[in-house]
Amino acid sequence: MSLFKDKGALSLDRLSVEIIGRTEEAKRLDKILEGTSQGFLPKVISVFGPPGSGKTLVTRKLCKDYEIKSEGKFKSIYVNIGGNRTVFSVANKLLAALGGEPQLSRIGVNGI
């Protein structure tokens, strides 16, 4: 018998949870995502706040929702770069997430 009623509830990949108290933040991010359909593409969106306050959850969920809403025109990919220590390894991970072959470091970031 497991100690947990639903161990999957601990998974950070579970996006189907009820998000509490992030309506304003979600609205702001949603507005930015909506803007992409009119060609407004921000290079970076910074989301900041205390650890465990839902930054990743809200961002991933909204991106997934927007992907569905845009009927394939918008695609979101989640890449965790927490363990990557160099710009090259981050670039390589992004490349792999986009479907490319991982590269050897000698080709450099520009090569990627």
Is 17 a residue that touches ligand ATP (CB under 6 A)?
Answer: yes
Map residues 25-64 to x or -, x wherever contact with ligand ATP holds by CB under 6 A: ------------------------x-xxxxxxx-------
User: At closest approach, how far in Å is the CB of 83 from ligand ATP?
Assistant: 13
Is 56 a residue that touches Mg ion (CB under 5 A)?
Answer: yes
Q: Decide: 99 and 81 in contact? Cβ < 8 Å.
A: no
User: At closest approach, how far in Å is the CB of 60 from ligand ATP?
Assistant: 8
- Identify which range of 50-58, 70-78, 87-95, 104-112 contacts Mg ion by CB under 5 A: 50-58
SS3 call for 49 = coil
DSSP state string for 17-40: SPPPS-HHHHHHHHHHHHHHTTT-
Other CB atoms within 10 Å distance of the CB of residue 66? 20
